């Protein structure tokens, strides 16, 4: 069974940076798409960014200038570089792997907490 494990979350002051990593195991093929989603208390889970195996990216409009997603297809690993962090970025960040071409699947990690202080 595929497993996704996030790391890199923590406490940071406003204006600081964090780099999240998501490492997969149990898969012998490259995921069609990987991405990051986040959920703040009392809020729905929202898209942060996604990236396909070919490198095509998609961002939430409000985050496009501050966050950057990248991936290593060989390792099925995805990263999220977060700069100029704001208190409203505080949330649990979840890693996702999605398939839609030859295979259909949707995997989620357990999440990593990001807290941005004023």
Q: The tokens 């259909």 sit on which residue?
A: 104
C-alpha separations of 87 from 7, 19, 97 in Å: 20, 16, 27
Average pLDDT over the chain, rounded to whole? 94
Say how far residue 79 (Cα) sits from the centre of its chain.
7
Digit-coded pLDDT (tens) for 59-95: 999 898 899 999 987 778 999 999 999 999 999 999 9
Instruction: Provide the 3-class DSSP secondary structure of residue 14.
Output: coil
Beta-sheet strand order (sheet of 77-82): 3-7, 18-25, 77-82, 67-72
How many CB atoms within 10 Å of residue 5? 13
Quick: pLDDT tens for 3-53: 999 999 999 999 999 999 999 988 777 899 999 999 999 999 999 999 998
């Amino acid at each position: 069974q595929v497993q996704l494990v996030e790391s890199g979350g923590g406490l940071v002051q406003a204006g600081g940076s964090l780099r999240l990593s998501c490492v997969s195991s149990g898969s012998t093929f490259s995921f069609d798409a990987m991405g990051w989603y986040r959920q703040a208390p009392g809020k729905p889970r929202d898209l942060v960014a996604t990236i396909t195996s070919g490198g095509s990216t998609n961002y939430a409009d409000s985050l496009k200038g501050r966050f950057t997603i990248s991936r290593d297809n060989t390792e099925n690993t995805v990263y999220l570089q977060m700069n100029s962090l704001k208190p409203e970025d505080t949330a649990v960040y979840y890693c996702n792997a999605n398939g839609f071409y030859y295979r259909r699947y949707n995997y989620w990690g357990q999440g990593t907490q990001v807290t941005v202080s004023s």
